[in-house]
A and B are shown apart, each in its own frame.
Chain A
């Protein structure tokens, strides 16, 4: 592998920004946001430069690495802090820095009235640096550092307005649920080290061939746990909805485009483990399938525009995880959907932010309506993202999502049929809830509060939205034209034999479009023809009520984990009081009591002492006599 000396700048630039802004404090209030944006942009240009270098090399020469320093060196156990840039990482580097820079630009205007704008930009830069370390680390341990770094940045940004207790709680919830996933990652690293003696990607890849399937399955399942935590997948998905408490640019960057896709990166990066552990791979597919339905169902019932989009994110990442779980055929499509999703979902979140900006931070879609006339640019960019997520040709989602549906159908047997049907149904429900968002927000009659004066956002905000909208239109075609992305990534993955095709691509596209059309039609019938109430109706079916409560995920967690945890704590406290403290107190009381009763012996009478001596002596002699007899 070729070495390079410039990889570190990718991370160092945004990290320097975060350091400067946090250390300089209020003094950098005036220029902090500009510095942060410039550093993020320069990191993006370093990424572009690396891409141009990479394009000029042959397939085998493309991955490059850089050793930063010797991190841990104990006897034969050596781990270097090192970076590695290959065909997979560069996709992420460009997505993170590209979308990240656009969102920096957007935030300059969006956060302009916030007194803590500098702190916000410092955290954004910190996030970019951590996320780049995550995708550039050359070993699981280096990845772990970035993994924790993005968790920290996510926590800080969700709780950015932590003066509101509910937001602070949301950030804590995200942090704690992520810890569960992080535990999975640390277990995976430990198992890998115990069985293979190495944690670097190249080392593990080489060692995976002679490692037992059981160990690989263990590592795979633990990696999956890690992915479910970070990517808000079932069963660790409950934090993502609450994470919408953060400022909207954060939701767009961290909780839609980049950080939540880290689980997909982890699984794709560990392809050599999952390919050799079919059980773990099957679990990945199951988790993806459950989550894509789960998110889609929640999305149908949410009135909060950001929470509806968050449920949609959960569902779309479910598609990616499912794609990544389909093995070598699916990795490239998972990454393709990840990239296109990065464009259109970030664009739609920024659109939601723009709507909130014009509507006094109102998030309830039932208080919107008829905004098309007042926010034409937001409507246009949001609409393009909408067409992209629906998978209407030739928008981005058409290429990436249909490929996943097709791959799912063709994965063979009953499994293929079930997965294909689930992804197809998910596409229909996606069409329904996204159309609902569009109708409630942009069309129909206005249902605004009296003090709302909707207006289009300034150019600093709509420019990034427009660029992302262009991406949502073109990225799918560009990435799939001549199998560009598939060929680009193919050196990283095992080659695969072709399954016989169950359904042809044309048929899959036809089916998917039919499902989408049905979803859109139902949404139109339900929301466009009738007037929408500005308060959520109460006399709804039990299913709607359950979906409004996020399919009872919080109640489940509360009943199963929190309550049992509390009971366990109470039992432990009681045990401590009764058993441990009880034993100590009993010893104390016994000593006091025996002392009190023995005190009577010390009467102070010489004669009683003499009598005791006499009795003692007689007893002693008697004992000796008995023994010797």
Chain B
């Protein structure tokens, strides 16, 4: 199977994630979209690793997973805290700037 197809899939997933971040209000969904983008990037890394026949891309994919795990821990903690104080998980409500 042509490796390029994996790259197309990766681009599609990244686009879905990016659009999701911009258009969705629910913080949990936004968060999942961010994860989607990270994993789309992972998919391209692995694909390039396969195309080039070395392990660099795979190693970087591991790093991305570690970062994503940390981000999930911190991000979910923030979302839970915001929900506790505001009774809402909408990102639009979480703005303190004067309008």
B91 touches which one: A603, A605, A611 (CB < 8 A)?
A: A605
Give a binary string over B72-93; 1 marks a CB under 8 Å from any A CB, 0 the rest.
Answer: 0000000000000000000110
A607-B22, A611-B22, A614-B22 known; A602+B97 contact, CB < 8 A: yes
Question: In the assembly, what is the distance between CA of A610 and CA of B24, in Å?
Answer: 11
Q: Which of B44-99 contact A (CB under 8 A)?
A: 91-92, 94-97, 99
Q: Which of A597-629 contact B (CB under 8 A)?
A: 602-607, 610-611, 614
Question: What would 12 A/B residue contacts be, using CB atoms closer than 8 Å?
Answer: A603-B95, A604-B96, A604-B97, A605-B91, A606-B94, A607-B23, A607-B25, A607-B92, A610-B21, A610-B22, A614-B21, A614-B22
Interface of A is mostly: helix
Determine whether B16 belongs to the interface, using a CB cutoff of 8 Å to chain A: no
Contact B91 A607 (CB under 8 A): yes
Determine whether B18 belongs to the interface, using a CB cutoff of 8 Å to chain A: yes
B-side contacts of A604, CB under 8 Å = 95-97, 99
Report the nearest B residue to A618, measured CB to CB: B18
A611-B22, A614-B18 known; A606+B91 contact, CB < 8 A: yes
Question: In the assembly, what is the distance between CA of A614 and CA of B97, in Å?
Answer: 22
B-side contacts of A605, CB under 8 Å = 91-92, 95
Most A C-beta atoms less than 10 A away, residue of B22, B30, B94: B22
B-side contacts of A614, CB under 8 Å = 18, 21-22
CB B95 to nearest CB in A, in angstroms, measures 4
Q: Which of A336-362 contact B (CB under 8 A)?
A: none
B-side contacts of A606, CB under 8 Å = 30, 91-92, 94-95
Give a binary string over B5-49; 1 marks a CB under 8 Å from any A CB, 0 the rest.
Answer: 000000000000010011101000010000000000000000000
B-side contacts of A603, CB under 8 Å = 95, 97
Given A605-B95, A607-B30, A611-B22, output 15 extra A-B contacts at Cβ < 8 Å.
Answer: A602-B97, A604-B96, A604-B97, A604-B99, A605-B91, A605-B92, A606-B30, A606-B91, A606-B94, A607-B21, A607-B23, A607-B25, A607-B91, A610-B22, A614-B21
A-side contacts of B94, CB under 8 Å = 606
A-side contacts of B22, CB under 8 Å = 607, 610-611, 614
A-side contacts of B92, CB under 8 Å = 605-607
B-side contacts of A602, CB under 8 Å = 97
The bracket for how many chain B residues form the interface is: 10 to 19
A-side contacts of B97, CB under 8 Å = 602-604
CB B92 to nearest CB in A, in angstroms, measures 6
A-side contacts of B21, CB under 8 Å = 607, 610, 614
A-side contacts of B25, CB under 8 Å = 607
Question: In the assembly, what is the distance between CA of A622 and CA of B94, in Å?
Answer: 32
Question: In the assembly, what is the distance between CA of A266 and CA of B88, in Å?
Answer: 100
Q: Which of A573-618 contact B (CB under 8 A)?
A: 602-607, 610-611, 614
- 4 closest pairs, A vs B, by CB? A604-B97, A604-B95, A606-B91, A611-B22
Question: In the assembly, what is the distance between CA of A606 and CA of B89, in Å?
Answer: 13
Question: In the assembly, what is the distance between CA of A155 and CA of B22, in Å?
Answer: 85
Report the nearest A residue to B33, measured CB to CB: A610
Report the nearest A residue to B91, measured CB to CB: A606
Question: In the assembly, what is the distance between CA of A580 and CA of B99, in Å?
Answer: 37
Question: In the assembly, what is the distance between CA of A610 and CA of B23, in Å?
Answer: 10
Question: In the assembly, what is the distance between CA of A603 and CA of B99, in Å?
Answer: 7
Question: In the assembly, what is the distance between CA of A605 and CA of B95, in Å?
Answer: 6
CB B41 to nearest CB in A, in angstroms, measures 12
A-side contacts of B91, CB under 8 Å = 605-607
CB B11 to nearest CB in A, in angstroms, measures 12
Question: In the assembly, what is the distance between CA of A607 and CA of B22, in Å?
Answer: 5
Question: In the assembly, what is the distance between CA of A607 and CA of B92, in Å?
Answer: 8
CB A155 to nearest CB in B, in angstroms, measures 67
B-side contacts of A607, CB under 8 Å = 21-23, 25, 30, 91-92
Question: In the assembly, what is the distance between CA of A611 and CA of B30, in Å?
Answer: 12
CB A611 to nearest CB in B, in angstroms, measures 5
Question: In the assembly, what is the distance between CA of A604 and CA of B96, in Å?
Answer: 7
Question: In the assembly, what is the distance between CA of A602 and CA of B22, in Å?
Answer: 16
CB A626 to nearest CB in B, in angstroms, measures 19
Question: In the assembly, what is the distance between CA of A323 and CA of B20, in Å?
Answer: 106
Report the nearest A residue to B94, measured CB to CB: A606
A-side contacts of B96, CB under 8 Å = 604
Question: In the assembly, what is the distance between CA of A606 and CA of B95, in Å?
Answer: 8
Question: In the assembly, what is the distance between CA of A80 and CA of B97, in Å?
Answer: 78
Q: Which of A190-205 contact B (CB under 8 A)?
A: none
B-side contacts of A610, CB under 8 Å = 21-22
Report the nearest A residue to B21, measured CB to CB: A610
A-side contacts of B95, CB under 8 Å = 603-606
Question: In the assembly, what is the distance between CA of A603 and CA of B22, in Å?
Answer: 14
Question: In the assembly, what is the distance between CA of A614 and CA of B22, in Å?
Answer: 9
Most A C-beta atoms less than 10 A away, residue of B18, B23, B94: B18
Question: In the assembly, what is the distance between CA of A614 and CA of B99, in Å?
Answer: 23
Question: In the assembly, what is the distance between CA of A604 and CA of B94, in Å?
Answer: 8
Question: In the assembly, what is the distance between CA of A378 and CA of B28, in Å?
Answer: 120
Question: In the assembly, what is the distance between CA of A605 and CA of B24, in Å?
Answer: 12
Question: In the assembly, what is the distance between CA of A610 and CA of B21, in Å?
Answer: 7
Question: In the assembly, what is the distance between CA of A606 and CA of B93, in Å?
Answer: 10
Question: In the assembly, what is the distance between CA of A91 and CA of B30, in Å?
Answer: 109
Report the nearest B residue to A610, measured CB to CB: B21
Report the nearest B residue to A603, measured CB to CB: B97
CB B44 to nearest CB in A, in angstroms, measures 14
CB A337 to nearest CB in B, in angstroms, measures 91
CB A52 to nearest CB in B, in angstroms, measures 100
Report the nearest A residue to B23, measured CB to CB: A607
Report the nearest B residue to A611, measured CB to CB: B22
CB A607 to nearest CB in B, in angstroms, measures 6
B-side contacts of A611, CB under 8 Å = 22
Question: In the assembly, what is the distance between CA of A282 and CA of B48, in Å?
Answer: 101
Question: In the assembly, what is the distance between CA of A606 and CA of B25, in Å?
Answer: 9
Report the nearest B residue to A615, measured CB to CB: B22
A-side contacts of B18, CB under 8 Å = 614
Question: In the assembly, what is the distance between CA of A610 and CA of B91, in Å?
Answer: 11
CB B36 to nearest CB in A, in angstroms, measures 14
Question: In the assembly, what is the distance between CA of A493 and CA of B37, in Å?
Answer: 107
Question: In the assembly, what is the distance between CA of A610 and CA of B31, in Å?
Answer: 12
Report the nearest A residue to B97, measured CB to CB: A604
Report the nearest A residue to B24, measured CB to CB: A607
Report the nearest A residue to B95, measured CB to CB: A604
CB A600 to nearest CB in B, in angstroms, measures 11
Most B C-beta atoms less than 10 A away, residue of A602, A603, A607: A607
